[in-house]
Chain A
Amino acid sequence: MDSVDAEIARAQEERRKMEEVAPLTSVTFDADLYGGANRFEGYELSIPVTEEDDDQDADGRDLARRMASYTGPKSLKEIPRGAEAEDDSGFKKPQRIIDREDDYRRRRLQRIISPERNDPFATGEATPDPSVRTYVDVMREQALQRQKEEMLKEIAKKKEEKNKAAAEPAPPAQKRRNRWDQSQEPDAAAKKAKTTSDWDAPDSTPGIGRWDATPTPGRVADATPSVRRNRWDETPTPGRLADADADATPSAGGVTPGLTPTGMTWDATPKLAGLATPTPKRQRSRWDETPASMGSATPLPGAATPAAAFTPGVTPVGGVDLATPTPGAMNLRGAITPEQYNLLRWERDIEERNRPLTDEELDAMFPQEGYKILDPPASYVPIRTPARKLLATPTPLGTPLYAIPEENRGQQFDVPKEAPGGLPFMKPEDYQYFGSLLNEEEEEQLSPEEQKERKIMKLLLKVKNGTPPQRKTALRQLTDKAREFGAGPLFNKILPLLMQPTLEDQERHLLVKVIDRVLYKLDELVRPFVHKILVVIEPLLIDEDYYARVEGREIISNLSKAAGLATMIAAMRPDIDNIDEYVRNTTARAFSVVASALGIPALLPFLKAVCQSKKSWQARHTGIKIVQQIAILMGCAVLPHLRSLVEIIEHGLSDENQKVRTITALSLAALAEAAAPYGIESFDSVLKPLWKGIRSHRGKVLAAFLKAIGFIIPLMDAVYASYYTKEVMIILIREFQSPDEEMKKIVIKVVKQCVSTEGVEADYIRNDILPEFFRNFWVRRMALDRRNYRQLVETTVEIANKVGVADIVGRVVEDLKDESEPYRRMVMETIEKVVANLGPSDIDARLEELLIDGILYAFQEQTSDDANVMLNGFGAVVNALGQRVKPYLPQICGTIKWRLNNKSAKVRQQAADLISRIAIVMKQCHEEQLMGHLGVVLYEYLGEEYPEVLGSILGALKAIVNVIGMTKMTPPIKDLLPRLTPILKNRHEKVQENCIDLVGRIADRGAEFVPAREWMRICFELLEMLKAHKKGIRRASVNTFGYIAKAIGPQDVLATLLNNLKVQERQNRVCTTVAIAIVAETCSPFTVLPALMNEYRVPELNVQNGVLKSLSFLFEYIGEMGKDYIYAVTPLLEDALMDRDLVHRQTAASAVKHMALGVAGLGCEDALVHLLNYVWPNIFETSPHVINAVMEAIEGMRVALGAAVILNYCLQGLFHPARKVREVYWKIYNSLYIGSQDALVAAYPVLQDEENNIFSRPELLMFI
């Protein structure tokens, strides 16, 4: 017994340890987020200044940050990557949203789905039921929350002051990095407290003592002898009481304000009083820990006490519970995370493997003879510990060990119990929402309400996890029955699902879709739920996924159309001055969507009021932010309201709060950007405060002001722009030295904006700006950050546009030899852009020498993979300089030759690429001998084994052949081409493409240098390439076919091609038909048609279709040349159009179409009408391709024969007694009508008048 107990104890101990390592509960999950000393790391604590940060749509900055190891365009990142990504199935693994979210975005999970609110429109004049939450209640709650925060902050401040006073007489002002502002935010206050003091000490201030006195978080109104008015003091109105209930119990609605961080702190304080006096060293205060228990605030019904529910290590009962996770049990337990589930599975497996052997097993193991089964000693007592016993029980879910299994139909392996009634598979994390669907027994006893709920859940599960058809029908049912289900039950089921932490992108998309559909149906019934919906939808607005953002906007826009402006404002108004920055941020974005849905004018009065709010700076801040978001979202659509928007926010520039000043400046910047290039008159009123502001502000505010100025200056007239630029430039130049990265970025941008306006003169820039600009910004460090790099290059190019090439290039050219490669690259890119923009005429001989020298150095020293910058720069400069490069060419070619021989494949490739860039310039410099030499060198390197390099070498050869021509080429073409033939077999796309281009070029220009036999050999190779994946290669090889056919005459090539029609592979045949058509085009159709038509006699489907297809392409390519051949092919087409085979008729119809279009107006109507008579009977075909081809043929005929002819064909069937016939004829009539309606007027039939209707058209009978 003792040993057993000890074992249990040990097991428990182990489990506890394991729990510490791999936490089980969601509580620890949250502690992960919020715990630790630097819990603000990665948070967005400040409102960023640059537009990229504000405008999430502009670029996924966070994505970029978190994916720092990936470079390349964003679109490429979406593509499933090679081997490592496609681990098993090749499909993209479903991705959980939470995995890619950063901490800031994860704060969405902290939000609470608030209970429904009163809909004043529905209730009318009646006083709302006291149990219903009204706007007043919400606002009051909000106010209380704020008050509480303020109080806590004040306490914190006092405590801090006290500590400061105690510690040091004059401590230096707190250094805050990257903050807009001294913390106004409560959480920041907590942080401050954490770093400086422990203000939890129970006996510190009287204020805190007062809180300590609060015995319970309950509603004992007079328990707290407070001086200030706080929530406890209020007379509990009935409405408030209802709230109190909501606070106290985490009821189904999940509204647990009592569990919000502040609520918890409230609870926690008294306990703290009992603690031993905390030492000041204790860094983690009680306050910091509070958010960790936020997990409990997750508004999930049933998840109220996670700590108690998941303590498997503590009590054996818990363990038992976990050991038998039948689905039913899971329901009861509520939330179980997938991690837990996996852990359980693993545990179960281990238990299973270690279970005691049964008698049968022992019997099977030991021989029957020679052993004796002893009776158990009298003292033996079998295990009766419930935990052990239950653990030992093979669970229905247990993984069986390896044994030759008995057939057990009822066995369920690791699969959860199958959902009844054809419901789709449930994931472990779904049980807490859908678990009740599994026990279907008591379905009959359910009340109608519950049954309805059940029905909704079933449909939702089908939408979420079902197969596409299931999903479709479920979605339709949900939509159709939306009003029947009612808004309440629907949203109560849908919205918690959206807050599920394990939600995947696809699931969220589907659920959002459900909401969207349901919204349409419910219309004004959604009003009480607006805020609930917003809580789950708003986070979509800041999602990093573009489509999620769009979806979020769509929903909110539909929501505002359904609920109306008043309800939207009422729902969101309380959030405007929410204490949480996250809430305010998302609310501002949501408001901008509302504005775009309902029109800016509708929102203006409200915005005006909010922006002037006296009560809290947060409200003003959010109001102004709404304006900013409107500008970003709606772009130039703000123009009509620009003046009112500016007027609404302008007072913010002189607000007492600096965050408000900052956001005002940023909003002005956004407005100016949206309005550009119009609307300067609307900004008149803010010019003065802005320009005055830049003299009085520092730091972030200054940055924001500068940004606004930068966007306003380009709107101005030249004269004003010049004046204002000079004004701002003093500050800008001063700020050049700012160490702040944000400031740097803004300053560079503003310089660009100022410089590019018209009124700023070159001299001014040259003398006043350039020296400081280069001294401060053209430093190595700037090249390391991509955004700085880009910004700096752009600005420098803009400056160069004003001051000319020489000034800029002269300043940076030395840096081409800098030792830092990124810096050299930045210099090179700038030079490339400047020279390409402005040409090299400013560059004098000395500078030219330095430039070439520097470029050669930079080119040779490059090591990184991103080689295109150097290559492009080199090419751009050399091409711009043109003949002036001549003296340097030997040196350049020497470098190239040297590098072609390099060990590194990359270097060889770059060298070859460089040849193709500078070949034209070499020709201009008459360096043909040098080129010939390079040609020979390249020829020698054709044995290159790296395909990338080989492709580049072929490209270089092509460039040389192009410029010096076939005759002067060395090595001679007759040597070069045979060397290329085997390379055509290479399967690498780059090699293929370059090789086929080169061969095609030779076939085009210098076919006579190569014997016909060689060309035939190449033809065979080309046939293989007709089915290349890359379109460019297919096209190049088809073209090459044409050239070769022209060079050696079509007969031999044609024979090859016609033989190729017999092959099985469809793609090959299609390519062959194209090649035949090309050959016919280049060598005139009469050389090809006889053989081709003769081939039609082969009684083989593929061949005949190939011939028809060739004819179709042929007539497409030769166009009006077809008039000479139409009579020749008509009999063949007649036959094809009467063939039994559908494809014959289809292909022939498309040939007829091309033919008709080609010969329109060339007098072949007789043949065309004849063919039309064969096409027409096919109009009743149903196969989509055939009917398409036939309709197109008729369209072609309409063009060639005129609409009247076709109309006459139509008239016979428009009023046919059979509907099937009428339908087809009307379709033809309609396309005829759309195609040439006017032409039909003259051709309409004469209808007889009826008794009181006139159908005749007497006007047409008039004549003079």
Chain B
Amino acid sequence: MQASDRFNINSQLEHLQAKYVGTGHADLNRFEWAVNIQRDSYASYIGHYPMLAYFAIAENESIGRERYNFMQRMLLPCGLPPERDED
């Protein structure tokens, strides 16, 4: 970033964006992004009742169970993070 645009609106924009969980940055890796995607997806499923109902029918589960499952899966949606190779 240049010195001149350290103070302009664009840097503020990035600052503003950084306040939201789920936004990304240039150093985000595939795993982190995928986790965000998964969580957003589950949140969206839970948030839209018709979606939830649809999944419930498809999986032959109750809606409440589906919601619970989705919420549980939001914890570690993609499994454990891969080992970082320290370089």
Contact = CB atoms under 8 A, between A and B. Distances in A.
A1214 interface: yes
Contact of B13 (A1222, A1227, A1240): A1227
Interface in B71-86: 77-80, 82
Given A1233-B22, A1250-B82, A1184 B40 contact: no
Contacts of A1260: 41
Interface string A1241-1257: 10010010010111101
Chain B's interface size range is: 35 or more
Contacts of B87: none
A1241 B42 CA distance: 9
A1231 B37 CA distance: 15
A585 to B, nearest CB: 43
B79 A1252 contact: yes
B64 interface: no
B18 to A, nearest CB: 8
Interface in B18-37: 20, 22-26, 28, 30-31, 33-34, 37
A1060 to B, nearest CB: 30
B21 to A, nearest CB: 10
A1227 to B, nearest CB: 6
Contacts of A1241: 40-41, 44
A1264 interface: yes
A1223 B26 contact: yes
A1262 B55 contact: yes
Contacts of B17: 1227, 1230-1231, 1233-1234
Interface in B49-87: 54-55, 57-59, 77-80, 82
Nearest to B45: A1259
A1240 B55 contact: no
Interface string A1165-1198: 0000000000000000010100110010000000
A1259 B54 CA distance: 10
B41 A1244 contact: yes
A987 to B, nearest CB: 36
Given A1182-B2, A1182-B5, A1226-B24, A1254 B79 contact: yes
B80 A1252 contact: yes
Contact of A1237 (B5, B40, B59, B79): B40
A1226 B25 contact: yes
B22 to A, nearest CB: 6
A1234 B23 contact: yes
A720 interface: no
A1230 B26 contact: no
A1229 interface: yes
Contact of B54 (A1219, A1229, A1240, A1264): A1264
Contacts of A1229: 23-24
A1219 B8 contact: no
A626 to B, nearest CB: 39
B5 to A, nearest CB: 6
A366 interface: no
A1178 to B, nearest CB: 14
A1215 interface: yes
A1039 to B, nearest CB: 30
A1182 B3 CA distance: 12
A1225 to B, nearest CB: 8
B20 A1234 contact: yes
A929 to B, nearest CB: 60
A1 B78 CA distance: 107
A1238 interface: yes
Interface string B9-20: 110011001001
A1184 B10 contact: yes
Contacts of B13: 1191, 1227, 1231
A1263 interface: yes
A1171 B4 CA distance: 30
B12 to A, nearest CB: 11
Given A1184-B9, A1252-B80, A1254-B79, A1227 B14 contact: yes
A1264 B44 CA distance: 20
A1214 B29 CA distance: 10
Question: From DSSP, what is the main secondary structure of chain A's interface residues?
Answer: helix
Contacts of B30: 1215, 1247, 1255
Given A1188-B10, A1241-B40, A1233 B23 contact: yes
Contacts of A1226: 24-26, 28
Contacts of B37: 1244, 1247, 1255, 1257
A1262 B47 CA distance: 18
Given A1253-B79, A1262-B58, A1222 B26 contact: yes
Given A1244-B41, A1255-B34, A1237 B22 contact: yes
Interface string A1197-1223: 000000000000000001100010011
B34 A1253 contact: yes
Given A1187-B10, A1250-B82, A1264 B22 contact: no
Contacts of A1252: 79-80, 82
B44 A1238 contact: yes
A1240 B40 contact: yes
Contacts of A1263: 58
Contacts of A1250: 82
A1188 B5 CA distance: 12
B42 to A, nearest CB: 8
A1237 B40 CA distance: 8
B11 to A, nearest CB: 9
B25 to A, nearest CB: 5
B10 A1219 contact: no
B26 A1184 contact: no
A911 B77 CA distance: 78
Contacts of B47: 1238
Given A1229-B24, A1230-B17, A1244-B41, A1253 B31 contact: yes
A1262 B51 CA distance: 11
B45 to A, nearest CB: 7
Contacts of B9: 1184, 1188
A1230 B19 CA distance: 11
A316 B46 CA distance: 94
Nearest to A1247: B34
A1070 B78 CA distance: 54
Contacts of A1254: 77-79
A1182 B5 CA distance: 8
A1184 B5 contact: yes
A1240 B20 CA distance: 15
A1191 B82 CA distance: 34
Contact of B24 (A1230, A1244, A1247): A1230
B24 to A, nearest CB: 5
Contact of B26 (A1219, A1253, A1259): A1219
Select the residue from A1182, A1229, A1259 with max chain B CB neighbours within 10 A: A1259
B33 to A, nearest CB: 8
A845 to B, nearest CB: 65
Interface in A985-1024: none
Contacts of A1219: 26
Contacts of A1188: 9-10
A1071 to B, nearest CB: 24
A1187 B57 CA distance: 48
A1189 to B, nearest CB: 11
Contacts of A1233: 17, 20, 22-24
B82 A1253 contact: yes
Contacts of B58: 1262-1264
Nearest 6 A/B pairs, CB to CB: A1230-B17, A1222-B26, A1230-B23, A1241-B44, A1262-B58, A1184-B8
9 contacts: A1184-B10, A1219-B26, A1223-B25, A1226-B25, A1233-B22, A1247-B37, A1255-B34, A1255-B38, A1262-B58
Given A1226-B24, A1262-B58, 13 more contacts: A1184-B4, A1226-B28, A1229-B23, A1230-B14, A1230-B24, A1231-B13, A1238-B44, A1241-B40, A1244-B41, A1247-B30, A1247-B37, A1257-B37, A1259-B41
